[in-house]
Structure 1
Amino acid sequence: MRVLVVEDEPILADAIAEWLRREAFAVDVVHRGDLALERLAVNSYDVVVLDRDIPVVHGDEVCRSVAGGETRILMLTAASGVRDRVAGLGLGADDYLPKPFAFVELSARVHALLRRTRPAAPPVLQRAGLRIDPGRREVSRDGQAITLANKEFALLTELVRADGAVVSTEHLLEKVWDEHIDPFTNVVRVTMMKLRRKLGDPPIVETVAGVGYRIR
């Protein structure tokens, strides 16, 4: 799943991004509202973590431009009063988190927003003997726990979320890796090989030649 962090304090922005990457999210970071709008115009994000008070284009304007679509908005602000929270939600934000905050609460709120996609995603994903708990970052197959690296976990989550549909390599690059990835890389194929090895036999991920991958 892919997240855009919009925060004008570089140290805080980098800390948020690093925390979310540990949770197996693909994360892009910008420090200004105009750059946020540029990224949103070309990339498909599942969640935007949006500081309200950002330069060039205010966070309120960014929120208005995103609200109503598929992307969920978690608004951050130093203003923690009830009136401020109500105003933020009134702009179209899906959730509101005052600063300072605990990173564990931030990631919990991001996971909660992902469960509010259309159609709503269940808190635990299951298919073909696989069980994935994104919030706890746990994976098992037929009751046996499996330890996955971050990108392997994110890749498998995208495949299970597809519910049997074929997922293209381009979609996986967009959702599992950030904007710095080389579009001509073979990283998806290499990561898929490692994932299949860890999932064991019988093989559960099917390659659809020229199209992508799916969970049988």
Structure 2
Amino acid sequence: MFRILIAEDEEPIANLIRMNLTRAGYLCTWAPDGKSAADLMEQEKFDLALLDIMLPGINGYELMDYAKACELPVIFLTALGSTEHKVKGLRMGADDYLPKPFEIVELLARVEAVLRRYHKTETVIRACNATIDTASHRVTLDGEEIYLTPKEFDLLLLFARNKNRALYRETIYETVWGGEYMGQSRTVDLHVQRLKKKLHWENIIIAVYKVGYRLNEVHT
């Protein structure tokens, strides 16, 4: 299980991030200020740090020195969304920079991308009766391999990484197709319907009214 340090002085935001990362399978530790974040970096082992910039005591930029000493990847999560601040953070060695406010699904994707870059991400993901091997791009259903198109594979992966979470059509389109959503609901709907048919998941991937879709995984 990967350990993530969350350095954020606003407790409601920290709790929201921690709750969603925990649901995604990460072990999270919260630091409410720069000094406690620096102490934790020196005392414990983490796989990734999510740093606010405007922290009490030691700010996020200053924490980069501690992160570099620990060879710890960093994503800045900050209200300072200007190009100037973003360029400064990236030039200091941050692996990514996500301005607030942000969608949780985007944060999860960024976290996974950075961990993958450092070869610290799982290659096999399970959802209901499907097993997804991200390294070989193979999907098995109850042990039997099935064929999915590249977009269907990416769509399944998105649902599997966000189990029991409603995903907006805009989020689905922009994550899987990589472009700005301009109302192409039929593109999303048609691919979801084909995926549901191939997996026999008519009652597992369900439509959420005025939102999009959700993968329901019920644990018994």
TM-score (norm 1): 0.57
- The one-letter code matched in structure 2 to 1:124 is T
How many pairs align? 138
In the alignment, the residues of structure 1 paired with residue 44 and residue 141 of structure 2 have an alpha-carbon distance, to the nearest angstrom, of 31
Tell me whether 1:106 sits opposite 2:107 in the alignment.
yes
The equivalences for 1:10-49 within 5 A come to 10-49=11-50
* Residue number in structure 2 paired with 1:176: none
In the alignment, the residues of structure 1 paired with residue 48 and residue 7 of structure 2 have an alpha-carbon distance, to the nearest angstrom, of 11
Structure 1's consecutive aligned runs of 4 or more residues displaced over 6 angstroms after TM superposition are: 138-141
Change (3 A) 1:75 1:122: closer
Tell me whether 1:89 sits opposite 2:90 in the alignment.
yes
The equivalences for 1:133-152 within 5 A come to 142-143=143-144
* Residue number in structure 1 paired with 2:195: none
1:143 deviation in Å?
A: 4.3
- The one-letter code matched in structure 1 to 2:123 is V
* Residue number in structure 1 paired with 2:78: 77
Change (3 A) 1:16 1:141: same
Change (3 A) 1:122 1:34: closer
Deviation per CA, 1:19-56, whole angstroms, max 9, x where unpaired?
A: 10010100011110110011111211111010011001
Tell me whether 1:124 sits opposite 2:123 in the alignment.
yes
Tell me whether 1:59 sits opposite 2:43 in the alignment.
no
In the alignment, the residues of structure 2 paired with residue 139 and residue 24 of structure 1 have an alpha-carbon distance, to the nearest angstrom, of 22
In the alignment, the residues of structure 2 paired with residue 40 and residue 140 of structure 1 have an alpha-carbon distance, to the nearest angstrom, of 41
Change (3 A) 1:95 1:84: same
Unaligned 5+ runs, structure 1? 145-216
Deviation per CA, 1:177-210, whole angstroms, max 9, x where unpaired?
A: xxxxxxxxxxxxxxxxxxxxxxxxxxxxxxxxxx
Q: Are the equivalent residues in 1 in contact too, given 2:42–2:70 (CA < 8 A)?
A: no
SS state of the match for residue 94, structure 2?
coil
1:122 deviation in Å?
A: 6.9
Q: Are the equivalent residues in 1 in contact too, given 2:5–2:46 (CA < 8 A)?
A: yes
Unaligned 5+ runs, structure 2? 126-130, 146-220
In the alignment, the residues of structure 2 paired with residue 10 and residue 101 of structure 1 have an alpha-carbon distance, to the nearest angstrom, of 16
Deviation per CA, 1:98-146, whole angstroms, max 9, x where unpaired?
A: 01111110111000010011xx3577349xxx75559xxx9978448xx
**CA-based RMSD:** 3.0
Structure label with greater radius of gyration? 2
In the alignment, the residues of structure 1 paired with residue 9 and residue 25 of structure 2 have an alpha-carbon distance, to the nearest angstrom, of 23
TM-score (norm 2): 0.56
Change (3 A) 1:5 1:133: farther
In the alignment, the residues of structure 1 paired with residue 121 and residue 75 of structure 2 have an alpha-carbon distance, to the nearest angstrom, of 19
In the alignment, the residues of structure 2 paired with residue 53 and residue 141 of structure 1 have an alpha-carbon distance, to the nearest angstrom, of 49
1:91 deviation in Å?
A: 1.6
In the alignment, the residues of structure 1 paired with residue 22 and residue 12 of structure 2 have an alpha-carbon distance, to the nearest angstrom, of 15
Name which structure has the greater RCO, CA cutoff 8 Å, separation 6+: 1
